[in-house]
């Protein structure tokens, strides 16, 4: 059985910082791409950032220079450091990991449970 556990998030004032974490537990053979997505009320889920297995990163234009994605392969964990937060960053944030479990010959995408980030004064 595979489980993704997100932590972090909460309420922060504009200009503040938060750090999100997402750890995978279970019969994991390897993890390929890791990413963060967000969904604001009334909007579609959108890509925030991704990091590949060789640590190449991609960011949405709206977060470039403010957010940093990183991964710890030994801990099967992906992080999102969010600085200079703006009210428009308010959303539910989801991690997405492409995982190959033992006994499987392919990678499948798994989602975290989501965590609320609210930026407000």
Pairing of strands 67-72, 57-59: unpaired
Tens digits of per-residue pLDDT, 58-82? 999 999 999 999 999 999 999 999 9
Residue 119 has what pLDDT? 98
Q: Of 34, 41, 4, 25, nearest to 117 (Cα)?
A: 41
Say if residues 90 and 119 touch (Cβ distance below 8 Å).
yes
pLDDT tens-digit profile, the chain (121 residues): 899 999 999 999 999 999 999 999 999 999 999 999 999 999 999 999 999 999 999 999 999 999 999 999 999 999 999 999 999 999 999 999 999 999 999 999 999 999 999 999 9
DSSP structure string for 24-85:
EESSEEEEEEEEEEEE-TTS--EEEEEE-TT--EEE-TTTTTTEEEEEEGGGTEEEEEE-S-
């Amino acid at each position: 059985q595979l489980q993704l556990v997100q932590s972090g998030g909460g309420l922060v004032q504009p200009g503040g910082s938060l750090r999100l974490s997402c750890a995978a537990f279970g019969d994991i053979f390897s993890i390929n791409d890791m990413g963060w997505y967000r969904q604001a009320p009334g909007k579609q889920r959108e890509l925030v950032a991704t990091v590949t297995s060789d640590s190449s990163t991609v960011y949405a234009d709206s977060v470039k220079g403010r957010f940093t994605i990183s991964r710890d392969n030994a801990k099967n964990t992906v992080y999102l450091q969010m600085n200079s937060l703006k009210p428009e960053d308010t959303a539910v944030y989801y991690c997405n990991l492409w995982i190959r479990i033992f006994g499987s010959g392919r990678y499948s995408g798994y989602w975290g449970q989501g965590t609320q980030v609210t930026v407000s004064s």
